[in-house]
Amino acid sequence: MKQLRGYLIDPETKTITEVTHNGDYKEIYRFIGADCFDCVRIDYRNGVFIDDEGLLNGQRYFFKLRGYPQPLAGKGLILGNDEEGETVSSSLTMDEVKFLVTEFTELSVQGFVTEEKDDVEIMPGVRGFSIRSTPVFGPPEEKEE
């Protein structure tokens, strides 16, 4: 079984921890506590796996990455990839990850601003329709006791 080095970002506890990932994609779900995930590219060799539904499920805890335009919801798991796209150990050091994570914050998603565009070049020579939703953030909702 593989032993891959990764970094778990936990915005609730405001911690970054070095972890060992066994290479099985199912373990990513357990690390980040999600039913489905997406990957935000950090650079050509590393990405952070996040909850694909984090903006929709009432997540309260977020983290921000240097150079990324919006806060990321819930926990994140940084892993690397090789030239073939296979998951490998992250090439980042703990100091580099700490530099990338600029803030831990509590927020709520107030809604989404949807922008629709017709006759957009989707790829060279192909035109179509584009819909983009951008989240609107606000203060965290009060916890019910």
Over the stretch 22-78, which tens digit does the pLDDT of each residue have?
999 999 999 999 999 999 999 999 999 999 999 999 899 999 999 999 999 999 999
Cα gap 30→25, rounded to integer Å? 10
In this prediction, residues 116-126 reach a mean pLDDT of 85
Please state the pTM of the whole predicted model. 0.87
Q: Which of 128, 130, 132, 129 is nearest to 114 (CA)?
A: 132
Q: Which of 56, 48, 45, 55 is nearest to 10 (CA)?
A: 48
What are the extents of the domains in the chain?
4-106, 109-138
